[in-house]
Amino acid sequence: MSKILVIAEHLDGKLNGATARAVSAAAAVKPEGIDVLVLSDAPDAVATEAAKIDGVSKVLTVARAENAHPLAAVLAPQVAQAAVGYTHVFAPSTTFGKDLAPRVAALLGVGQVSDVVTVESSHVFTRPIYAGNAIITVEAPASQTVVATIRTASWPAAASSGSAPVEALAIDVALPSHTRFIELKQGKSDRPDLQGAAKVVSGGRGVGSKENFDIIYKFADRIGAAVGASRAAVDAGYVPNELQVGQTGKIIAPELYMAIGISGAIQHLTGIKDAGTIVAINKDGEAPIFEIADIGLVGDLFKILPELERALD
């Protein structure tokens, strides 16, 4: 039988929603147990939140001063030791999980399944390659620990009505001092989180400037949506890089995705393929975004957005 260790992602004492999505993928394996591992300098608040996730058998905490920041080189040896006795180690496919999980896999001497979108059986998974233009079925050896990252956009967040026990775990490994955290510059925003939002409004090169992007923010706020962007808009400096949606940015699956002034390069479409409803607004009727849009509107975004707001009144 399978026993799965899910690595919790957290920031500023709060559990990241990606963790509950990784737990959903773990539950699809139908294991005998799902334990969540919280590595932190002060894990209590995060552990309390993790204990509520449905399907979690136990929350394990490792409290060490070195775990104050998520440094892969520091966390990986601890995860590798904690993984003993588990058949699977899962992490969300966020920048945190992508940084950490391969380091854990290498320490365990196993390959890693990146970006799991479906679980076919305990050792068979599907994942996208070539910017989502092909889906492969991957079989991991039954004799080894399965290390996988979970594409969060493909999994619902497990509900949080549980009450799993929390246990402190003693990890006795020497930790390296060759990697030091200096700072994290966070994009401050009151808007919904891009990766968890039900609605996302994204702007592209067609928005034209940083100042013009206000029209995107304004409309997003009007409908309670998170704001995203294409690579072109980020490269042009209209918005910070953490808003980028696509193959190399964030992969999202909101119920509603509105692409405004985005032509729809392959690399962008990868990030939104699983969205419920895709709306495209673009002045170029031939733009590739219209090939995957559920609803398309050809026209000038600077005229259409104010009209949309009026139509909502």
Partner 1 sequence: MKILVGYKRVVDYNVRVQVKADGTGVVTEGVKLSANPFDDIALEEALRLREKGVAEEVVIVGIGPADLTAHLRNGLAMGANRAIHVTTTEAVQPLTAARVLLKLVEKESPGLVIVGKQAIDDDANQTGQMLAALWDRPQATFAGKVEIADGKATVAREVDAGMETLDVDLPAVITTDLRLNEPRFIKLPDIMKAKSKPIDVIELGSLGVDTGDHLKITHYAAPPKRSKGVMVKDAAELVAALKHKGLL
Touching partner 1, residues 163-202 (CB under 8 A)? 176, 178-187, 195, 199
From 155, 123, 127, select the one nearest 139 (Cα to Cα).
123
Please, which residues have CB within 8 angstroms of residue 139's CB and are 6 or more apart in sequence?
123, 124
Q: Which is nearer to partner 1, 34 or 304 (CB)?
A: 304
Per-residue binding string, partner 1, 247-266, x by CB under 8 A, is xx-x----xx---------x
From 125, 294, 92, 121, select the one nearest 195 (Cα to Cα).
92
Give yes or no for residue 236 binding partner 1 (CB under 8 A).
Answer: no
- Contact with partner 1 (CB under 8 A) among 218, 240, 284, 300: 240
Please, which residues have CB within 8 angstroms of residue 270's CB and are 6 or more apart in sequence?
128, 131, 132, 246, 247, 251
Give yes or no for residue 295 binding partner 1 (CB under 8 A).
Answer: yes
Tell me which residue has tokens 């497990």.
158
Q: What is the closest distance, in whole angstroms, from the C-beta atom of residue 290 to partner 1 in the complex?
A: 7
Give the torsion through C-alpha atoms of 223, 226, 227, 229, to 10 deg.
Answer: -120
Give yes or no for residue 284 binding partner 1 (CB under 8 A).
Answer: no
d(CA 262, CA 126): 29
Contact window for partner 1 (CB under 8 A) among 21-29, 49-57, 205-213, 245-253: 245-253
Give yes or no for residue 296 binding partner 1 (CB under 8 A).
Answer: yes
Q: What is the closest distance, in whole angstroms, from the C-beta atom of residue 197 to partner 1 in the complex?
A: 13
- Contact with partner 1 (CB under 8 A) among 209, 223, 284, 300: 223
Q: Which is nearer to partner 1, 172 or 183 (CB)?
A: 183
In the range 54-113, which residues lie near partner 1 by CB under 8 A?
Answer: 71-73, 76, 94-96, 98-107, 109-113
Give yes or no for residue 277 binding partner 1 (CB under 8 A).
Answer: yes
Contact window for partner 1 (CB under 8 A) among 20-28, 46-54, 133-141, 208-216: 133-141
d(CA 137, CA 98): 20
Do residues 94 and 9 lie in contact, with contact meaning Cβ atoms separated by under 8 Å?
yes
Q: How many residues in the shown chain lie near partner 1 by CB under 8 A?
A: 89
Tell me which residue has tokens 């479409």.
269
Do residues 232 and 243 lie in contact, with contact meaning Cβ atoms separated by under 8 Å?
no
Give yes or no for residue 311 binding partner 1 (CB under 8 A).
Answer: yes
The identity of residue 21, as a single letter, is: R
In the range 15-54, which residues lie near partner 1 by CB under 8 A?
Answer: none
